Amino acid sequence: MSDTEGAAVPERLLITRTTTDDDVCVVTLAGEVDLDGSAQLRDVLLSGLKGSRGAVVDLADVAFMDSSGINVFIAAHQAATADGGWLRLAAPRQAVRRVIQLVGVDVLIPCYPTLEQALAD
């Protein structure tokens, strides 16, 4: 199943949500995760967590992320764990990984080098 949610901010953030055969929500992002697109990202991620075992956010095509993206991930992590699920981050580029590490999100939310590893764990 694949649902393209469309551009949160035209030409800045594309959000695609799919569900694996074993009920894991995969949210793939492309572009920039900032204040302009964070509300739609939050909605997509939280709705994807409902009825799934957990969610993986694929960050491979994200060139920039600010604190609004971090806040979305923390809120999604809290929602997932409250329902017995989980959230994982996958394949962040160096600039995005640095933001994740600087604020300590990688201590709270598991971060994997690849999407495949995040799905396999």
pLDDT in tens, 40-91: 999 999 999 998 999 999 999 999 999 999 999 999 999 999 999 999 999 9
pTM for the model stands at: 0.91
The candidate with the shortest Cα–Cα distance to 30, out of 48, 56, 57, is 57
* Angle at the Cα of 48 from the Cα atoms of 10 and 5, rounded to 5 degrees: 20
Decide if 89 contacts 76 (C-beta within 8 A): no
CA-based nearest residue to 58, from 87, 82, 29, 84: 29
The per-residue pLDDT for 11 is: 64
Q: State pLDDT tens for residues 8-32.
A: 555 689 999 999 999 999 999 999 9
Is 44:15 a contact under the CB 8 Å cutoff? yes
d(CA 71, CA 66): 9
Whether pLDDT at 99 is above 50: yes
